[in-house]
Amino acid sequence: MDKDKNNKKDKDDAEEKNLPGRKDDDAAGKDIPERKDDSSIIDDVTSGDYKYGFVTDVDTEVIPVGLSEDVVRLISKKKNEPEWLLEFRLKAYRHWLTMTPPKWGHLDMPDIDFQAISYYAAPVKKDGPKDLDEIDPEVLKTFDRLGIPLQEQKMLSGMAVDAVMDSVSVKTTHREALAEKGIIFCSISEAVKDYPDLVKKYLGSVVSYKDNFYAALNSAVFSDGSFVYIPKGVRCPMELSTYFRINAAGTGQFERTLIVADDDSYVSYLEGCTAPMRDENQLHAAIVEIVVEERAEVKYSTVQNWYAGDAEGRGGVYNLVTKRGLCRGDYSKLSWTQVETGSAITWKYPSCVLAGRGSSGEFYSVAVTRNHQQADTGTKMIHLAPDTRSTIVSKGISAGHSENSYRGLVKVTPAAERARNHTQCDSLLLGSNCGAHTFPYVDVMNQSAVVEHEATTSKISEEQLFYCNQRGIPTEEAVGLIVNGYAKEVMNKLPMEFAVEAQRLLQITLEGSVG
Amino acid sequence: MTMPSLKQYTDLFRQERTAIDSNATEALNAGRDRAMEFLEAAGRLPEKSDEGYEKTSVEAMFAPDLGVNVNRVNFPVNVAESFRCDVPNITTLLAVVVNDRFVPSATLLKNLPEGVTVCSLRDADSALIGRWLGKAVERYDAAMAFNSLLLQDGVFIHVAKGVKMAKAIQIVDIFSGQTPLLAPRRVLLVAEEGAEVSVLKCDHTQTRDVVFGSTEVVEIIAGEGARVDWYDLEESSPATARWCQFRCRQEAGSSLNICAATLTNGTTRNEYLVDIKGDCCETILSGMATGSGSQHIDNSSYLVHRSDRSHSDQLFKYVLDDEATGAFEGLIEVAHGARFNEAYQSNRNLLASTGARMHTKPQLLIYNDDVKCSHGATIGQLDSAALFYMRSRGIPESEARKMLMQAFMVDVVEKIRLESLRDRLRHLLELRFSGNCGDAACATCRGRVAEK
């Protein structure tokens, strides 16, 4: 197949450049000699290349490294922010100083030097590009290479996009079409200027700046992000999407997404992320806040493909994210779907606070780790009201020397009569040097609640492989087939446009040469 | 900041070290420096803010001013009066521990089969003690340190190579006395190659209105091909705090079956550390808890598969009523390079009242792909369809509830390999769910063990 060849070629290139290679092939073989065949196949299958690792050559304005009150003031000033927002940032910053980084994750993470990071980086032509001509063509090219339909002609694909490069929102598309329906979709800095009341009302209402170490940091230095407001009774006619890109070196990305779905509204929101390959680690500490009012529904999908580091575990993004939604209205619904394939370290727990009667939360996740990636991810379902329901489906796939952990909390408070939860988390191990772990916390304070948790861990069974082989499917293809089947339950929850991308991503990540 | 409750014990230790040392033996004293060092570094006993102790503050358990019997006062205890936990139709070899003092009965010593030693840790063979005491598992933690610091006596059980015991050994731990006491208790059980032994341990509190606390460490070494059954029954008082850690090591081909039942208690924290060192082992770890009033029961397991082809099964079930709180934290680790293991874990809980609380955290740490592991946890209430079915057939609701609760516990009871003990436990559960037992602690179940 052509694709095979291309991938092969990419791989050769990568080896020349000493980028993600296949060195652990032999190492894995040596550990358990009798399984050499198997492990080399699996290694083949799990060593795809990262194709988003390029760096865009645009002029970037980066403020000096380090964090202090002055830096917080500088960020606020650069963004021409009102006084109240500066106050919010300063409060968060002062609180952050009193906190220490959390250590409970099943992660081997070196201490981050927060004074060695630049907290603001922006492509130079940043002052509110009014139309595409004003955007640096290099930036456009970047998003083109990423397959983001920024160009007007591509907008026919029917997705509204907000693209965030380094710290600044570069371009939001389809705004006019959305405005007709009364939907607000813009960068958060614009929202601060244009809709201060809404932002003031909701910012920090779901994730307080006191929430955790990284949330405090983000609240102090967040640079940009998206703001979405869906008015009462409006069904958003298209998928809204944000694309995040870290480009500049030595910077962190701290974006903030705020989604408000008013009564009886519906929105599906997508998020994608990539970063260049660099030997150093980059920090990404975002906050996503979602407010769901009565009978409204929000679907939030993420395909996370930050640079994961090379095969030896050098470089990669630290993805330390706080995502939380508040189902405030009765019978509201929030659904998180995530496909996690990137990042050297992932630490994120998209959560649902079910405060409205009959509200429901869903969490569907596929997390793939390989090489030396580490992921500690899961969800929290906090049942506060009667008749609340939540579903958790988590699928972990570990390969290489990676560590993949599910950590989730299901909490049923005394008021949550008849709360119902079902949790299923499965782990699949490819290779004998990786780890798959499950840490579910279940806390029930109401006798009428029914809470179930199940988890399984296994490798691809010999029988399944045998069955495929028998029918003429070579082992490599069979592994790809089985892994895709395993993740299908979650993939099905993704919006169509994303499902295709996610499936491709899973193939690239896991299948390598498998067509 | 209030003073950590650990301090009163470390202070006591500093003051009384000479006396404590002279009451014990060299082997027991050998562990004290390390224990002190560990506890000083920690500064306090585990609290809810510590990962793994989310629902149980050990600090609070030992906050009352508990004394340690440094002067080795002999508390008279009427075994017949306090010991109501007899098991009909079974003869056991009975050993009694009053507070923290081992009191060997004449019958026990007379009836021990050849190759079996049951004695005080102080009288045990020093070579064996030196080899095994504190060595069952590597992990050293607060439970071990706190126990080692003030330990003065304990029970030593040794079953020689190939000896298969027909009778079970029964250890009865009794709290008795008019002053609040802390009892550091220790059992060291060594089953040599091919040996077989069952132990039934019962914890009782005789003086019900006095505050007691126990720190217990049970070390079990199952040699190659050995089979060890350990049944633990707690029927203490609401004023009793128990912090008990099992430390088990399994050599190749061994079988270990631990079943712990907490029927009545105050605050209990049981920790199970199981280290499967050899290939082809079997481990069954089960437990049940019936909580009412303000009982608190916390079971925490850490089971490690370090070798190939072993099978482990964990099952914990709770029925919680009134304001009772339960916690379960279970962990299976399959170490790097340990292949072809099967490890299962299940925790099922019934909440019978609005005030009852349950916290569960079943965890898996898997470092090898050639495993079969699963865990499950549920928290719920009695099946309303089943209740309706029974009521529609003329069974009153209270009776139906009782029957369903008993049925719920059956699979834990069935893990017990002594038939008469199974019967006994079924009976105790029936009484417990009828509300006869509760705080009145087994007043209805009188009788004597059939001693020969």
Write the CA distances from B339 to A20, A458, B174, B368, B374, integer angstroms: 29, 12, 43, 7, 16
Give the per-residue pLDDT at A246: 65
Query: Average per-residue pLDDT in chain A?
Result: 77
Q: Which residue has the higher pLDDT, B6 or A253?
A: B6
Give the per-residue pLDDT at B445: 35
Q: Which residue has the higher pLDDT, A31 or A143?
A: A143
DSSP string, A97-163: HT------SS---PPP-GGGSBS-EEESS-S---SGGGS-HHHHHHHHHTT---SGGGGGG-EEEEE
pLDDT of A279 above 80: no
Give the per-residue pLDDT at A316: 81
CB of B375 less than 8 A from some CB of A = yes
CB of A461 less than 8 A from some CB of B = no
Residue of B nearest to A405 (CA): B365
pLDDT band at A146 (very low <50, low <70, confident <90, very high): low
Distance, in Å, from the CA atom of B203 to the CA atom of B266, rounded to the nearest integer, reads 12
Q: Is A17 within a domain? A: no
Contact residues for B291 (Cβ-Cβ < 8 A; gap 6+): B262, B297, B318, B319, B320, B321, B322, B324, B325, B326, B356
Q: Is A432 within a domain? A: yes
Give the per-residue pLDDT at B160: 96
pLDDT in tens, A38-81: 445 555 545 556 666 666 666 666 777 788 888 888 888 888 88
Would you call B369 and A459 a contact, using CB atoms and an 8 Å cutoff? yes
Would you call A452 and B378 a contact, using CB atoms and an 8 Å cutoff? yes
**B323 burial via Cβ count (<10 Å: 0-12, 13-18, 19+):** middle
CB of B365 less than 8 A from some CB of A = yes
pLDDT in tens, A460-491: 888 888 999 999 988 878 888 888 888 888 88
Name the residue range of residue A421's domain. 61-461
Would you call A437 and B363 a contact, using CB atoms and an 8 Å cutoff? yes
Q: What is the mean pLDDT of residues A370-378?
A: 88
Would you call A432 and B380 a contact, using CB atoms and an 8 Å cutoff? no
Give the per-residue pLDDT at B307: 95
Nearest alpha carbon to residue B266 among B300, B289, B287, B232: B289
Distance, in Å, from the CA atom of B439 to the CA atom of A302, rounded to the nearest integer, reads 54
CB of B48 less than 8 A from some CB of A = no
Give the per-residue pLDDT at A359: 94
CB of A445 less than 8 A from some CB of B = yes
CB-nearest partner of A454 from B54, B368, B376: B376
CB of A427 less than 8 A from some CB of B = yes
Residue of A nearest to B327 (CA): A443
Residue from A438, A441, A448, A458 to probe the interface with B (highest B Cβ count within 10 Å): A438
Write the CA distances from B406 to A149, B111, B327, B426, integer angstroms: 63, 36, 20, 8
Give the per-residue pLDDT at B256: 97
Distance, in Å, from the CA atom of A318 to the CA atom of A278, rounded to the nearest integer, reads 12
Element (H, E) at A414: none
pLDDT band at A352 (very low <50, low <70, confident <90, very high): very high
Residues of A in contact with B376 (CB under 8 A): 452-455
Distance, in Å, from the CA atom of A162 to the CA atom of A226, rounded to the nearest integer, reads 7
Would you call B377 and A452 a contact, using CB atoms and an 8 Å cutoff? yes
- How far is the alpha carbon of B248 from chain A, nearest alpha carbon, in Å? 23
| Average pLDDT, 10 consecutive residues per value, chain B (452 residues) | 84 93 91 95 92 91 90 72 56 83 78 91 90 93 95 94 92 89 95 96 87 96 97 92 97 96 94 96 96 94 95 95 93 91 93 89 87 86 91 93 93 92 90 65 34 26
CB-nearest partner of B374 from A106, A443, A456: A456
Q: Is A441 within a domain? A: yes
For chain A, the domain total comes to 1
Would you call B381 and A448 a contact, using CB atoms and an 8 Å cutoff? yes
Nearest alpha carbon to residue A128 among A62, A178, A78, A200: A78
Q: Which residue has the higher pLDDT, B216 or A149?
A: B216
CB-nearest partner of B357 from A106, A430, A444: A444
Q: Is A48 within a domain? A: no
Per-domain boundaries in chain B:
6-381
pLDDT band at A117 (very low <50, low <70, confident <90, very high): confident
Residue with structure tokens 């059939």?
Answer: B450
Q: Between chain A and chain B, how many beta carbons pairs sit less than 8 Å apart?
A: 116
Residue of A nearest to B360 (CA): A442
Q: Is A483 within a domain? A: no
Q: What is the mean pLDDT of residues A305-315?
A: 77
- How far is the alpha carbon of B340 from chain A, nearest alpha carbon, in Å? 11
pLDDT band at A274 (very low <50, low <70, confident <90, very high): low
CB of B376 less than 8 A from some CB of A = yes
**Token representation of residue A288:** 């996503």
Distance, in Å, from the CA atom of B58 to the CA atom of B270, rounded to the nearest integer, reads 11
ipTM of the complex as predicted: 0.73
CB of B374 less than 8 A from some CB of A = yes
CB of A455 less than 8 A from some CB of B = yes
Residue of B nearest to A441 (CA): B361
pLDDT band at A271 (very low <50, low <70, confident <90, very high): confident
- How far is the alpha carbon of A286 from chain B, nearest alpha carbon, in Å? 25
Would you call B358 and A455 a contact, using CB atoms and an 8 Å cutoff? no
